Homo-oligomer: A and B are copies of this chain.
């Protein structure tokens, strides 16, 4: 677990679970996993990570900030695409090692592929996966053209994930 400067050191299990002191647990890479859901529809929009700074900026500004592992940099959601996320509610879990954001998205999309959610494919349930699992597209309509949106930003193809 990484030592942090802004937030207090993680507490005992009992204090983490039943206390009111926010003392988040960052993993060995200094990151905490984050789930963002739509405050309107409740659907899961994306899954990403925050480092200490991204977490602090999100709390302070009410705008979702993440840590881009592919680019190794702080990332204000929507800084390229315009699909910013205003935090409507923010929660932590029992052991304070995960974050849930309920957000309103400025644009229609949360995914860098142009979809509303990153979770636009269903995994079929009920058969052995040994023979191969075929995904089906659901809610997969593009809200924007990723080529058009990202090419003007000078962003190198393949370095953008989860709708930077």
Contact = CB atoms under 8 A, between A and B. Distances in A.
A72 interface: no
Count the copies.
2
A15 to B, nearest CB: 11
B122 A94 contact: no
Contacts of A130: 6, 56
A160 to B, nearest CB: 10
Interface stretch (A76-84, A132-140, A147-155): A132-140
A46 interface: yes
Given A44-B35, A93-B46, A94-B112, A60 B118 contact: no
Contacts of A135: 19-22, 92
Contacts of A9: none
Interface string A124-164: 11111110111111100000000000000000001001100
A8 B111 contact: no
A163 to B, nearest CB: 9
Nearest to A119: B91
29 contacts: A6-B130, A7-B129, A17-B113, A18-B113, A20-B121, A21-B135, A22-B135, A35-B44, A37-B44, A41-B42, A42-B42, A47-B100, A59-B124, A59-B125, A59-B127, A59-B133, A60-B128, A62-B125, A62-B126, A90-B124, A90-B125, A92-B121, A93-B111, A93-B118, A94-B115, A94-B120, A94-B162, A95-B162, A100-B119
